[in-house]
Amino acid sequence: MRILITGATGMIGSEIVRLLHERDIGVNFLTTAKDKIQKSEKYSGFFWNPSTGEIDLESLQGIGTIVHLAGSSIFKPWTQKNKEEIIRSRVESAELLFQTLKSNDHKVGQIVSASGISVYPSSYTKLYFEDEKDTAATFLGKLVREWEAAADKFTDLGLRVATIRTGLVLSEKGGALEQMKRPVSYGVGAALGNGKQWQSWIHQEDLARIYLYVIRHGLEGAYNAVAPDPVTNAELMQAIAREEGKKIRLPNVPAFAMKLVMGEMANVALESQLVASRKIQHAGFSFKFVNLVKTLKDLRLREEKEI
C-alpha cells in the first residue's frame, strides 16, 4: 500500500517522505501547483484544489493511509480575513478528502492529521495530557478544535483517525528555529516576555518518526508530539546562543512591545504549554532526540552538511 500525503513538500512533509522512501514505501502527494507534479514509482504528484472541490481521483490508487498536513501558514498578519483563511484551508481540504472517499471506491483505512498543542490553555504550572477537557480560548485554540473535528469526521466512514498535536518543531530547514537563530547570530538575541513560558519542542525527525509509528501500528486518537524534556523560552534561547557560539546579553523583549508590533500573533511566542509525551511513549514509541543541546548540535551538523 502507498501513502497519500497533503502538504508533502513542506518542512514536515518532506521529512516524512524521506523516511518513507528509506523504507521503500511509495508516496502519492496532492498539490495545488501543477508545475510541482512529478511521476515516479516512489513519488507521484496529483492536482487538487480544495477551494473549487477539484481532486485527481487517480491519487487514491493503491492508497491505504492518508497523511493530512496541508494548511495555510499561521505566520502572517492575523487579520480577520487571514484567520478565516488559516482555518478554512485546513477544514475545507479535509472536507474535500472526506467527500471524495465517501463518494468513490477506495482502500483507505486510516487518516493521520496534523494538529497542535496550542489547543491547551496557556499555563506555567499545569502538565497537559491528551485527555485534557479544557481548551484554549484563543484563535489557535479555535483553529485546533476545528482542525481535529474535521479529522474526526472520517470515523463516520469507518477509518482509523489519529491527530498529531505538534509542539515547537526544530529543524535545519527553516521554521521557528531559523527565526530564533537570526537575532542570536547578530548578537541581539533575547528571551521573549518573561522567558518563563514553557516550550514543548520536538526534533523534525522524531516528529516524522511519530507519523510513521502511528501509521505502522494503526494507532487512533490524539497524540502529543513533543520531546520528553520541555524547556522554558529563556533556556531555549540560551541553548541556541551556546550552539551559535554567542551569549545572550540583552534584557528580555517585553511582552507589551511584542504585542505592539505583532498584535494578537505575539501569543504564539508568549503562551506557555507544558505538554507530556507519555501517551505515545506508552504506545511503544522511543524518541531519538530527547536532549535539547544534542538536538541543536545535530541540526547544526545537518545544516553544515547541506551547505
- Give residue limits of the domains in the chain: 2-306
User: Which three three-digit cell numbers place residue 191?
Assistant: 528571551
Which one-letter DSSP state was computed for residue 39?
-
CATH architecture type of domain 2-306: 3-Layer(aba) Sandwich (3.40)
Helix %, strand %, coil % for the chain, to 5?
45, 20, 35
Average pLDDT, the chain: 96
Mean pLDDT, rounded, for 192-205? 98
pLDDT tens across 247-267, in order? 998 999 999 999 999 999 999
Mean pLDDT, rounded, for 190-214? 98
pTM, rounded to two decimals: 0.96
85, 240, 249 from 237: Cα distances, Å = 31, 5, 11
pLDDT at 296 over 90: yes
pLDDT tens across 86-136, in order? 999 999 999 999 999 999 999 999 999 999 999 999 999 999 999 999 999
CA distance 169 to 3: 23
